[in-house]
Amino acid sequence: MEKMKFVLVGCGRIATLHVAGYRDREDAELWGVYDKNPQAAKRFAAEHGIPKVYDSYEAVLADPAVTGVELLVPHHLHCELTVAACRAKKHVSVQKPMALNLAECDEMIAAAKENGVVLKVFENFVHYPPYLLLKDLIARGEIGEIRGVRYKMCNASLYSENIPGADARAKHTDASKDDCPRTGWKVDPSSWLWRLNGSLCGGGPVVFDDGYHKFSLFLDLVGGVEKVCAWIDETPALPGIMQDVPAVIMWKYADKKVYGVWDVTAAPDLYVKGKYYTCDERMEVTGTRGVLWLTRCTAEMLDTVAPVVLYRDGKLTEFWDVPSDWQDAFIHSTKDFIESIRDGREPVLTGERGREVLAFALAAMASSEQKKEIYLTGQEDRKKQKRRGVLSIFGKKQA
């Protein structure tokens, strides 16, 4: 069988987790990379044994061998690069958040439909195995009907390897510095810089950017949302740079008396264990006869507690036998992209679903800005932002 060939566009921080999903497949391979920084592309290809390095996005799209692209670039480029890929008849997986506003989502959805290609929004949390187990337990009736959803998120410092957290742990305990290894991965400052520019990122780095994952989970778990009410404040993330925390976001699901609440805190000296971003996440789902907890996702602060815990009928059951590395979610999401093309089916996060997730996020931001609850039906879109055109040959000039 001839393998489908995929190209990663953008070889930054997250690209490293997009490689494993292509390994050892008979139907697909990671064929090439492109980054506007040629050195980054060459380095990444060499490190991961990827055969081809393109010198422009136009060259990727003009190559008849290429089946599809994975767009791993800053958010202001998502719409433009997606539309161009669709016009070149390439299938597209675009990293979250789908776009900067709903009008852009509509353009992307229309381009994919007109050209008969798959459009997948790459949001990995809905593919995280412990979350899938939690959903499965709910589907099997273990907690009865869902009555409420709570999500707690706490970011440690944004410094690479959570250095302040490790230093604080050493200072406040008897442990030596050697016993308090740094946690979290290295993040190049360039990876934060565009995120802290609203016109490139589309919103704050926490509620808008990372938050897309959480809004996606909340919709995936229960269904459509009727209204949202939020407070989103600001605190320093790095010297001179603000982040959109603390925040509390509340919502009501449509057609049912089920409410959700997500609270986000930043704790700069917190020692969070984990290999990736040092972001602690926990979810609690209350049902009519039981409660379920998801105790982690990106990081593993509660590593002595099982990834999924069930309380029912006076008994606590811990579920340890489930892969819980954050990367597993990326592998499953990549698999979903490849197999949706191979099998001619829709991916889990279609363009339409990706748009719904963005609408939820934008409603939360609008609620905080306007100091009132926002109904999702009839919600006003954000003004279309001016974008810098990066493509000359495929599209008309963007507004």
- Footprint of ligand NAD on this chain (CB under 6 A)? 9-15, 34-37, 40, 57, 72-75, 77, 95-96, 124, 190-191, 209, 390
* Distance of closest approach, residue 83 Cβ to ligand NAD, in angstroms: 14
* Distance of closest approach, residue 398 Cβ to ligand NAD, in angstroms: 13
CA pair distance 209, 212, nearest whole angstrom: 6
CA pair distance 38, 22, nearest whole angstrom: 23
C-beta separation of 132 from 140 below 8 A: no
Which is nearer to ligand NAD, 117 or 297 (by Cβ)? 297
Which is nearer to ligand NAD, 77 or 146 (by Cβ)? 77
Which is nearer to ligand NAD, 74 or 246 (by Cβ)? 74
* Distance of closest approach, residue 14 Cβ to ligand NAD, in angstroms: 4
- What's the alpha-carbon Rg for the chain, to the nearest Å? 21
Quote helix, strand, coil % in the chain, to nearest 5.
40, 25, 40
CA pair distance 310, 295, nearest whole angstrom: 11
CA pair distance 153, 352, nearest whole angstrom: 27
The residue nearest ligand NAD at its CB is 12
How does DSSP classify residue 148? Answer: E
CA pair distance 192, 170, nearest whole angstrom: 27
Which is nearer to ligand NAD, 9 or 79 (by Cβ)? 9
Burial of 399: CB neighbours in 10 Å, binned 0-12, 13-18, 19+: exposed
Which is nearer to ligand NAD, 171 or 388 (by Cβ)? 388
* Distance of closest approach, residue 175 Cβ to ligand NAD, in angstroms: 30
* Distance of closest approach, residue 56 Cβ to ligand NAD, in angstroms: 9
Omega within 30 of 0 (cis) for the link into 97: yes
Which is nearer to ligand NAD, 82 or 124 (by Cβ)? 124
* Distance of closest approach, residue 111 Cβ to ligand NAD, in angstroms: 18
